[in-house]
Amino acid sequence: MAVNNQVQLNTNPDSLGGTLEALDHVLLTHFPGLFQGGVHILPPFPSSGDRGFSPLTYLEIEPRFGGREDIRRISRHSEVSSI
């Protein structure tokens, strides 16, 4: 059985650049193609505390981070490729 390890990034939505749009820019500018294992964005939902882990709703993105289109854009740049 072949094992295909790939690099994955786990990050809060405001850790690299401050917003999801800035995160996308950082990934494309400084780490192009590196995270082929995917980008896991820790809870980007509106929250009562605990840095997003106490979501008030799962239906929207915290507006200060950006929006769903930002997450879609990031996901397109980090698609898992199969070998």
**Residue 83 pLDDT class (50, 70, 90 cuts):** very low
In a domain, 24, yes or no: yes
In a domain, 68, yes or no: yes
In a domain, 3, yes or no: no
DSSP code string of 1-69:
-------EEEE-TTTSSSSHHHHHHHHHHHSTTT-TTEEEE---S-BSSGGGTSBS-SSS--TTT--HH
In a domain, 2, yes or no: no
Domain region containing 46: 8-77
Local structure of 38: helix, strand or coil:
strand
Tens digit of each residue's pLDDT (9 = 90 or more) over 7-58: 889 999 999 889 999 999 999 999 888 888 888 999 999 999 888 889 999 9
Q: Is the whole-model pTM more than 0.85?
A: no
Domains contained in the chain, number: 1
Query: CA 78, CA 26: separation in Å to the nearest integer?
Result: 13
